[in-house]
Structure 1
Amino acid sequence: MGDFKNRINVNINDQHYTIVGTDNPEHIRYVANLVDEKLKELGRKNAGLDTTRKAILTAVNVMHEKVQLEEDNERLQQQIKQLQDRKDQ
């Protein structure tokens, strides 16, 4: 039998979307709200951008943040390993 999927209605950039997924509905709403806030923030800073450009720039900004977090995580994992190796010596 397939996984139960939630159908969650959200508004992003004043547009209605139905998101289907297995995640907790509150998590889906939270993520959608973060996307909406990022789009609005970008729109306030760059009033002349159309919706497509705002969406693309928002995606680029979010991916930039994701890559930075992954790099930070990798660096911290290496530091933990180095500390564990020192402890084991």
Structure 2
Amino acid sequence: MAEFKNRINVTINDQHYTIVGEDNPEHIRHVAHLVDEKLKELGSRSTGLDTTRKAILTAVNVMHEKVQLEEEKRRLEQEIKQLRYKENDY
């Protein structure tokens, strides 16, 4: 039996896309809106870039942010572990 998938129409960088996924449609729209904002932000700082270059640089920036957040998460998890260990020592 096929799983239910949402088909959501969004606009990113003035282009229309249909995104198919199992996530909540509002979540999909929100993510598409964030991508659109990132592209526009980059475009306003770096005029003259073609769409492909803007998309690649946006992807690099988003992945950079993701890696930083993952590193911060690991650091915080380690800190929590240490605090729990200290708490259990007392």
TM-score category of the 2 structures, normalised to the smaller one = over 0.9
SS at match of 2:7: strand
Which portions of structure 1, spanning 4 or more consecutive aligned residues, are displaced by more than 2 angstroms?
none
Give aligned-pair identity as a percent.
76
Matched, 1:15 2:2: no
**TM-score, normalised with respect to structure 2:** 0.98
Equivalent residue for 1:57?
A: 57
What is the Cα deviation at residue 2 of structure 1?
1.9
Counterpart of 1:13 in structure 2: which amino acid? N
Equivalents in 1 of 2:71, 2:8: separation in Å? 32
How many aligned residue pairs are there? 89
Equivalents in 1 of 2:46, 2:36: separation in Å? 15
Equivalent residue for 2:30?
A: 30
SS at match of 1:23: coil
Equivalent residue for 1:74?
A: 74
SS at match of 1:7: strand
| C-alpha RMSD of matched pairs (Å) | 0.4
Equivalents in 1 of 2:71, 2:2: separation in Å? 35
Equivalents in 2 of 1:55, 1:73: separation in Å? 27
What is the Cα deviation at residue 3 of structure 1?
1.3
